[in-house]
A and B are shown apart, each in its own frame.
Chain A
Amino acid sequence: MKAESSSKMKSRTYDMAVIGGGAAGLAGAVKAAELGMDVVVLESGERIGGIPMQCIHPGFGNFYYGENLTGPEFSERLIEKVKLTGIKCYTHAHVEGIRHVSDTENMVSVVMPAGITQIRAKTILYAAGARERHAYEIGITGDRVSGVYTAGEAQTLMDIYGIMPGKSVVIIGSGDIGLIMARRFALEGADVKAVVEMLPYPGGLQRNVVQCLEDFGIPLLTSHMVTRIVGKKRVERVILAEVDESFRAIKNSEKEIDCDTVALAAGLVPNIGKLREADIDIDSSTKGPVVNEYMETSLPGIFVAGNALAINDYVDYAAEQGEQAAIGAHLFIEGNMPSDWKPIRKGENIRLVFPHHISGGRDVKIYARVKKPVRDAVVEFPEIDKRVRKRAVMPGEMIIVNLKKQETAGIDELTLRCADGN
């Protein structure tokens, strides 16, 4: 895409600058354009579309489009909309800083092929996605050898560049990403030796345990931890141990698995570096910003959506959050953002919940995760007698509670809890 001259960009004030052209950013940009806002999308990568572009399996769009699409199909639909609405998108445009000058003015500094450019915007939608956790963050030591990839790196090699990272693979982490990568390697003929999980149960959806591991006879080692990666130039084997309830290695439980590749799927963390510098409130459980129902952070006019807000199970949620942020940005510019916010608190067995504040003036969707699995669960807001029964809740699967406007009218605060229904 062509770069506008930097002086022209400087003098212009956009209604909304979208940082990150993934699912959340593009859905938000389209919504904002539909609301008549002047939007610019800043994407650091070679192309817009975000992470789904490299997730070639189905499982995207079931809620957002009511169809089961692959990742690239999902993103290409959004990109089509972006083109139709004529939204300005800059690729190779890496945002390196955000300055909240006043409540109606933000300066975004962008590194682009044309040089460093300052973009002025009334509102910001920060949708920079997540980063993958690295080996050192999960206590793996050992030789510095080639053949160790994060799941995302392995996926980029295979599904964007068509290069097989290795022949025999150990996968660390049994979240959906780890499970999906195990199948992807197996499909292309690699020998997937094991998926190693520290928790006593798999982190990902049951569907993925069955269709990604059981279908291919891939062993899942729960309550196990890779402690060391061994090799001279290339990975030769990993050393693993069984762990107790407090994740300490059990003595004499060590074993070895020969492999030439290790794929790390050790979880994602919201990528909020640029926001941290802007000094916003962070939730220590989501590791993302504290937001109201319009996904607005503690800095007025700065919104966040998608995996930069909290790690979402489904791309659909990221896209919805982007749209909510756009609606919020529109209200903000018109001076109609509510000012009275009621907190949503974490009760029994709730690990995280967002948005953190609601107005009580409209229908809202609440996203949450439990700490522990529960069968026959009751998810409830006791203050308003709102109860949802679920056959089972798992930490790996987000809980969604839709609150109606009339249910939340007149409340001071709400507490979400999840208990055994028996």
Chain B
Amino acid sequence: MEIKKMTCILCPLGCRMEVSIEKNKIIRIEGNSCPRGEMYARQEVEAPSRIVISVVKCRDCNLPVISVKTEKPVPKERIREVIDSLAEVEVEPPVNVGDIIVEDVAGTGVNVIATRSAERI
């Protein structure tokens, strides 16, 4: 049996929880003060995911880089790959907020979109 420690982030109380896991299955969750904590713990153990943010180069733009984000959360263990694959990307103006910058980034099935606009200089 494995015990995972985590802090619930759903309210300022920040309950410290211990999740007992056996054969990839959650068998016990302790330390949460309300049911939302249990929900959070399941999500964090079974499919932890995050929105990834970064910047990409922008050629001939009024700004050297523009900011981007993944349209949806990507699995936590793929964050590094997503960031690395963005290092090579260069866009050209005009860019509008919401434009798709990379489709299906690093094979995650998630698009990377622009979060700021840019014009040609």
Scoring B residues 1 to 44 as 1 if CB is less than 8 Å from chain A, else 0, what string do you get? Answer: 00000111101111000000000000000000110000000000
Choice from B14, B54, B63, B65 contacting A187 with Cβ under 8 Å: B54
A53 and B34 CA atoms in complex are apart in Å by 37
Number of interface residues of B (CB under 8 A): 29
Scoring A residues 209 to 249 as 1 if CB is less than 8 Å from chain B, else 0, what string do you get? Answer: 11100110000000000000000000000000000000000
Choice from B8, B12, B83, B97 contacting A76 with Cβ under 8 Å: B97
Residues of B within 8 A of A158 (CB): 55
Choice from A58, A76, A187, A391 contacting B13 with Cβ under 8 Å: A391
**Do B115 and A73 touch across chains, with their CB atoms under 8 A apart?**
yes
Interface residues of A in 335-355 (CB under 8 A from B): none
Using A72-B97, A207-B9, A214-B7 as known contacts, say yes or no to A161 and B69 having CB atoms under 8 A apart. no
**Do A162 and B55 touch across chains, with their CB atoms under 8 A apart?**
yes
**Do A394 and B12 touch across chains, with their CB atoms under 8 A apart?**
yes
Closest to B116 in A: A72
Report B56 CB to chain A, min CB distance, Å. Answer: 9
**Do B9 and A206 touch across chains, with their CB atoms under 8 A apart?**
yes
A57 and B52 CA atoms in complex are apart in Å by 8
Q: Judge whether B45 is part of the interface by a CB distance below 8 angstroms.
A: no
**Do B67 and A70 touch across chains, with their CB atoms under 8 A apart?**
yes
A375 and B15 CA atoms in complex are apart in Å by 11
Q: Judge whether B111 is part of the interface by a CB distance below 8 angstroms.
A: no
Interface of A, secondary structure class, is mixed
Interface residues of A in 149-189 (CB under 8 A from B): 158-162, 187-189
**Do A73 and B97 touch across chains, with their CB atoms under 8 A apart?**
yes
Report B64 CB to chain A, min CB distance, Å. Answer: 5
Closest to B117 in A: A76
Residues of A within 8 A of B53 (CB): 56-58, 70, 187
**Do A188 and B50 touch across chains, with their CB atoms under 8 A apart?**
no
Residues of B within 8 A of A393 (CB): 12
Residues of A within 8 A of B79 (CB): 187
Q: Judge whether A392 is part of the interface by a CB distance below 8 angstroms.
A: yes
Closest to A162 in B: B65
Q: Judge whether A397 is part of the interface by a CB distance below 8 angstroms.
A: yes
Closest to B14 in A: A206
Closest to A209 in B: B7
Residues of B within 8 A of A207 (CB): 9
**Do B65 and A160 touch across chains, with their CB atoms under 8 A apart?**
yes
Closest to A207 in B: B9
Interface residues of B in 71-121 (CB under 8 A from A): 76, 79, 83, 97, 115-117
**Do B13 and A392 touch across chains, with their CB atoms under 8 A apart?**
yes
Report A19 CB to chain B, min CB distance, Å. Answer: 24
**Do A206 and B7 touch across chains, with their CB atoms under 8 A apart?**
yes
**Do A161 and B116 touch across chains, with their CB atoms under 8 A apart?**
no
**Do A53 and B7 touch across chains, with their CB atoms under 8 A apart?**
no
**Do B9 and A211 touch across chains, with their CB atoms under 8 A apart?**
yes
**Do B97 and A159 touch across chains, with their CB atoms under 8 A apart?**
no
Closest to A72 in B: B116
Using A210-B9, A393-B12 as known contacts, say yes or no to A187 and B117 having CB atoms under 8 A apart. no
Q: Judge whether B51 is part of the interface by a CB distance below 8 angstroms.
A: yes
Report A175 CB to chain B, min CB distance, Å. Answer: 15
**Do A72 and B67 touch across chains, with their CB atoms under 8 A apart?**
yes
**Do A187 and B12 touch across chains, with their CB atoms under 8 A apart?**
no
A57 and B115 CA atoms in complex are apart in Å by 10
Report A68 CB to chain B, min CB distance, Å. Answer: 8
A53 and B52 CA atoms in complex are apart in Å by 17
**Do A73 and B116 touch across chains, with their CB atoms under 8 A apart?**
yes
Most chain A Cβ neighbours within 10 Å, of B14, B83, B117: B14
Using A73-B97, A207-B9, A392-B14 as known contacts, say yes or no to A58 and B65 having CB atoms under 8 A apart. no
**Do A72 and B55 touch across chains, with their CB atoms under 8 A apart?**
no
A189 and B79 CA atoms in complex are apart in Å by 11
Interface residues of B in 57-71 (CB under 8 A from A): 57, 63-65, 67, 69
**Do B55 and A187 touch across chains, with their CB atoms under 8 A apart?**
no
Using A73-B97, A162-B64 as known contacts, say yes or no to A392 and B76 having CB atoms under 8 A apart. no
Report A138 CB to chain B, min CB distance, Å. Answer: 25
Interface residues of A in 35-84 (CB under 8 A from B): 53, 56-58, 69-70, 72-73, 76
Q: Can you list 10 A-B pairs, Cβ within 8 angstroms, ordered by A?
A: A56-B116, A58-B53, A72-B116, A73-B115, A160-B65, A162-B64, A209-B7, A210-B6, A210-B9, A392-B12
Q: List the 4 closest A-B pairs by CB distance, nearest first.
A: A162-B65, A72-B116, A56-B67, A392-B13
